[in-house]
Amino acid sequence: MTAQSKAISNPDRPRRAVALISGGLDSMLAAKVIQEQGIEVQGLNFYTGFCVEGHTHAIRAKVRAKPKRNNALWVAEQLGIKLNIIDVSEEYKDIVLNPRYGYGQHLNPCLDCKIFMVNKAQAWGFMEENGFDFIITGEVIGQRPKSQRKETMPLIARESGAQDRLLRPLCAQHLPETLPEREGWVDRDALYGFHGRNRKPQMALAEQFGLTDYAQPAGGCCFLTDKSYSAKLADLWSARGKRDYELDDIMLLKVGRHIRPSETYKLIVGREEGENNYLEGYRKQFAHLRCESHRGPLTLIDGAPNAADIEQAARIAARYSQGRDAAEVTMSVHHPNGVSEVLTVTPYAPQEIPERWHV
Amino acid sequence: MSEAQLDTRGMLCPIPVIRTQDRVRELAAGDVLEIVATDPGVLHDIPSWCRVHGHELLETSETNNEIRIRLRVCAP
């Protein structure tokens, strides 16, 4: 007997729901609506490697000065629920590289992502040792152009394998009855019929629940919805001649100024102290440049530059040092094999670094 | 009662929290876990994670850009 059939066969057992918690308002409200019906809710949050939270806050010094929080944990605290954070970054590659339903506006595979996460929640939640009965998400019909549409709702339920155990409390009244509704575990009349991009109903519901502090990140919580980030990822694939990435690659796309003067190499120039400190962690893996005669950023060289490329790289990196207006600047080049050399170069003038080099 | 250590130096949040969560799962109630980290985000996130799961935060300290957090595992 499976965990699912056991759950059904014991009608007196209190019901439990697992909620996908992104840290934003909608998933917080969805969990709260179900809690209000007396159901025990626990949260699940997935770490894909592309999460906006965390890394950028930690890296950039100016942001670092501000207090930061993990919004998913914050939501769990506000709701008084447990939250499990699961690292899916390795498995998630296949979603980013081979999305069955394609990308959204940028390299965001939102529909495949939602199917993947609901499937993971199902696998985790319906395990006998965890014993959850259904899954809830904060999806709202019409909220997102790629993944949250009337026709994608049944698709996600079907393709994830969750079927009628997937409940969307915020728009349930626009959707067919799910198992928790049919079985009377939750009251359909006390669910909602939100739709569209208007956020006012959610904000009003938050106020009704006394929830005043919540995150509403523009474009969601994923770097793949960001135009500039997606352009950097596309450039990485193009330069390497294959669509693949390691976790370090996608971390580095979040940091620094990315300049590609040729197909053979790219520079990652730290923009401030926090980024320089972060890039220091990669100095053993990458050839890198330092300015010896003036203050300047750490610059990583990604690729396979030849000697002429190295000199060009030094001139570009010198442009971002305090010696940018000097006739000559001394730069040191450090190769991953431990060999170092010193170059004296004339920094590029701004017009010598064309806009198209900026990834 | 045992005392365990977890090194998350060089990792950025939420990875230290995930590693903490996974390590605590292997420990018994009453055990103490000391986490070493470099991302200052842990100063907020690990205490928050402890509150969410009912574990006891014993101590946090920061020296030379290295952060140490000690917690006592509580029964689920």
pTM (predicted TM-score): 0.90
Assess contact for A349 and A298: CB atoms under 8 A.
no
Q: Which two tokens stand for residue A183?
A: 């079985």
CA neighbor of A121 nearest in space, from A110, A109, A137: A137
pLDDT tens readout for residues A243-263: 999 999 999 998 999 999 999
**A183 or A216: which leads in pLDDT:** A183
Q: Which two tokens stand for residue A1?
A: 């007997």
Assess contact for A321 and A345: CB atoms under 8 A.
no
The pLDDT, as a whole number, for residue A4 is 52
Mean pLDDT in residue range A184-190: 97
What range defines the domain where residue B12 resides?
3-72
Within an 8 Å CB–CB cutoff, is residue B12 touching chain A? yes
Strand, coil or helix: A22: coil
Within an 8 Å CB–CB cutoff, is residue B75 touching chain A? no
Between strands A287-291 and A40-47, the pairing is: unpaired
Note the residue count of chain B: 76
Q: How far apart are CA A138 and CA A43, in angstroms?
A: 12
Domain ranges of chain A: 3-223, 255-357
Mean pLDDT in residue range A160-166: 97
Q: Which two tokens stand for residue A341?
A: 């050399």
- What total number of domains does chain B contain? 1
A-chain residues near B14 (CB < 8 A): 47, 51, 53-54, 70, 85
What kind of fold does domain A3-223 have according to CATH?
Rossmann fold (3.40.50)
Mean pLDDT in residue range A101-128: 93
CATH number at residue B42: 3.30.110.40
How does the average pLDDT of chain A come out, rounded? 91
Catalytic residues of B: 13
- Window 261-290 of A: residues touching B by CB (8 A cutoff) are 281
Mean pLDDT in residue range A157-162: 97
pLDDT tens readout for residues A272-292: 988 898 899 898 899 999 999
CB within 8 Å: A77 and B14 = no
> CA of B54 to nearest chain A CA: how many angstroms apart?
9
Edge-first strand order for the sheet with A83-87 is A83-87, A40-47, A16-20, A134-136, A166-167
Assess contact for A251 and A47: CB atoms under 8 A.
no
pLDDT of A67 strictly over 90: no
Q: Which two tokens stand for residue A191?
A: 């669910």
Query: What ipTM is given for this predicted complex?
Result: 0.94
DSSP A356: G
Mean pLDDT in residue range A152-171: 97
Within an 8 Å CB–CB cutoff, is residue A51 touching chain B? yes
- Window 24-53 of B: residues touching A by CB (8 A cutoff) are 39-41, 44-45, 48-49, 51-53
The pLDDT, as a whole number, for residue A69 is 80
Tell me which amino acid residue A194 is.
Answer: F
Closest partner CB to B52 (pick from A51, A53, A83): A83
Assess contact for A301 and A265: CB atoms under 8 A.
yes
Closest partner CB to A77 (pick from B12, B41, B51): B51
Assess contact for A134 and A15: CB atoms under 8 A.
yes
CB within 8 Å: A57 and B10 = no
The pLDDT, as a whole number, for residue A3 is 47
pLDDT tens readout for residues A2-46: 445 444 556 678 999 999 999 999 999 999 999 999 999 999 999
Beta bridge partners of A40: A16
Closest partner CB to A47 (pick from B10, B14, B53): B14
**A57 or A326: which leads in pLDDT:** A326
A-chain residues near B18 (CB < 8 A): 47, 85-87
**A123 or A216: which leads in pLDDT:** A123
CB within 8 Å: A67 and B44 = yes
Beta bridge partners of A19: A43, A136
Residue A90: how many CA atoms within 13 Å on its side-chain side? 2
pLDDT tens readout for residues B11-70: 888 999 999 999 999 999 999 999 999 888 899 999 999 999 999 999 999 998 899 999
The pLDDT, as a whole number, for residue A143 is 87
CB within 8 Å: A47 and B44 = no
The pLDDT, as a whole number, for residue A213 is 85
Alpha helices in chain A (DSSP H): 3-9, 25-35, 55-59, 61-64, 71-79, 89-97, 110-125, 152-160, 179-182, 200-208, 227-240, 247-252, 273-280, 307-319
